Amino acid sequence: MEFNEVYITKTATYFPNEPVSNEEMEEYLGLINQSPSKSKRIVLRNNGIKRRFYALTRGGIPTHTNAEMTAHTIRKMLDNDPEKIKSIELLACGTSSPDQMMPSHAVMVHGELPESRSIEVVSPSGVCCAGMHALKYAYMAIRIGDVHNAVAAGSERLSAVLKSEVFEDEAQILKELEANPYIGFEKEFLRWMLSDGAACFQLSDKKNETGLSLRIEWIEGISYANIKEPCMYMGGDKMENGKLKSYLDFSPEEQRARSIMSIKQDVKLLSENIVPLGGLMLSRLFKEKNLDPADVDYFLPHMSSDFFRDKIFNQLIANGTPIPYEKWVVNLPTVGNVGAASVYFMVDEVFQNPNLKKGQKILLLVPESSRFSYMYALLTVC
């Protein structure tokens, strides 16, 4: 069977509202139990994030749904042209924060695009890797000739579960029981990390007739869930044996009292595993794909925090695959951690770079701490 080449021919990004500075965050997310956070300054100092975006007004009123943001960026990419939107043959949208559990996120995005046709729609779930899973599905569909073009997207609207009201019942109980209104660090930690936004790629079996395209050479993924317990989770609670207890097995009162629907992260488990495990598969790929680190012109590592920058750099050296900092593209300080959309934002930044040249190689690395999954891809400018 002869496989088609697959190209990223266009990209677009969408951020809701104006950027939010570190000093303004609690004006949008609110104060838990009317008390300023004790951990905010420490977390922000380590993660290096200077601003982020929320689909909220000051005071926490929602301004956009996840599906709306994703549809906005697709329309932007296709010049708000109904005929171009109608030409989409496949839509794949990944997120960790759908607006509802059912229907799926991607069909809701499709519903926000009434100009489009009735087409195949796919909704990869997960966390940061979900956007890459959407990209891989679209890539494979074009590669085997099922379709000639596709749109892949990554998006997040996590601000809704970062608001103080999610934690108020638990904080009140803690105050009554222990005279301590402060939520555990594993829950509050992520309030100062996450951002909202959407981004998308247009994929085709034909490269652009004028201008540059990005040929997808390969996309690979791996999960270590067989050997590692959950590290980041939402809609459940972690038991002493490391297993998760589903929100379905808590009463509504227990869900509120323990803020079960908040996002939680085991910070110790994260720091011990996220970088070393990510380096294992990357080292293997350098060998299997006969890729020399010196051939990489742009390295796009998705990082949840600047805390991991030096650790990734040193791990690459230890693995014999060094990539100097001048080849890295990291936009975490200016856009925050947008989960499934983060790598899309970085690719868009490189694609818009006026110094981009044919033949250059772009290496993507997307880790997902929820149970230690990773996605990797290599793009060639053509």
Q: Read off the pLDDT of residues 122-159 as tens digits, 9 standing for 90 and up.
A: 999 999 999 999 999 999 999 999 999 999 999 999 99
pLDDT of 39 strictly over 90: no
Is the domain of 192 the same as that of 270? no
Is the domain of 274 the same as that of 139? no
Burial status of residue 316 (CB atoms within 10 A of its CB: 0-12, 13-18, 19 or more): buried
Average pLDDT over residues 95-118: 98
CATH of the domain at 148: 3.40.47.10
Residues ≥6 apart with Cβ < 8 Å to 272:
none
pTM for the model = 0.95
pLDDT of 112 strictly over 80: yes
- Tell which residue, 237, 232, 243, 189, has the closest CA to residue 97: 232
Residue 244 lies in a domain: no
Residue 256 lies in a domain: no
CB 52 within 8 A of CB 341: no
Average pLDDT over residues 38-48: 89
Task: For 67-82, write each residue's pLDDT tens digit.
Answer: 999 999 999 999 999 9
- Higher model confidence: residue 35 or residue 226? 226
> Identity (one letter) of the amino acid at 158?
L
Is the domain of 354 the same as that of 290? yes
Is the domain of 206 the same as that of 298? no
For tokens 């959950």, the residue is 230
Distance between CA 342 and CA 334 in Å, rounded? 11
Burial status of residue 4 (CB atoms within 10 A of its CB: 0-12, 13-18, 19 or more): middle
Residues ≥6 apart with Cβ < 8 Å to 15:
53, 196, 197, 335
Residue 105 lies in a domain: yes
Residues ≥6 apart with Cβ < 8 Å to 263:
158, 161, 162, 187, 190, 194, 232, 233, 234
Residue 230 lies in a domain: no
Q: Residue 360's domain spans which residues?
A: 216-224+266-381
- Our measurement of the distance from residue 284's CA atom to the centroid of its chain's CA atoms, rounded to an integer in Å, reads 24
The pLDDT value recorded for residue 187 is 76
pLDDT of 61 strictly over 70: yes
pLDDT of 346 strictly over 80: yes
Task: For 182-231, write each residue's pLDDT tens digit.
Answer: 456 677 788 999 999 999 999 999 999 999 999 999 999 999 999 999 99
Of the residues 211, 236, 253, the one at which a domain ends = 211
Average pLDDT over residues 50-76: 98
Give me 176's structure tokens. Answer: 């009554």
pLDDT of 170 strictly over 80: no
Distance between CA 158 and CA 108 in Å, rounded? 17
Residues ≥6 apart with Cβ < 8 Å to 12:
73, 74, 76, 77, 199, 200, 348
Is the domain of 31 the same as that of 77? yes
Of the residues 211, 233, 257, the one at which a domain ends = 211
Is the domain of 204 the same as that of 287? no
Burial status of residue 362 (CB atoms within 10 A of its CB: 0-12, 13-18, 19 or more): buried
Task: For 328-337, write each residue's pLDDT tens digit.
Answer: 999 999 999 9
Is the domain of 176 the same as that of 273? no
Give me 343's structure tokens. Answer: 């790598």
The 3-state secondary structure of 243-286 reads CEEEHHHCCHHHHHHCCCCCEEECHHHHHHHHHHHHHHHHHHHH
Give the 3-state secondary structure of residue 7.
strand
Using pLDDT thresholds of 50, 70 and 90, give the confidence band for residue 243: very high
Residue 232 lies in a domain: no
pLDDT of 306 strictly over 90: yes
Residue 272 lies in a domain: yes
Residue 190 lies in a domain: yes
pLDDT of 174 strictly over 80: no
Residue 17 lies in a domain: yes
- The mean pLDDT value of the chain amounts to 94
Give the 3-state secondary structure of residue 319.
coil
Is the domain of 203 the same as that of 284? no
Report the domain count for the chain: 2
The pLDDT value recorded for residue 32 is 86
Average pLDDT over residues 289-315: 96
Give me 364's structure tokens. Answer: 């993507």
Is the domain of 205 the same as that of 278? no
Is the domain of 117 the same as that of 92? yes
Task: For 255-295, write each residue's pLDDT tens digit.
Answer: 999 999 999 999 899 999 999 999 999 999 999 999 999 99
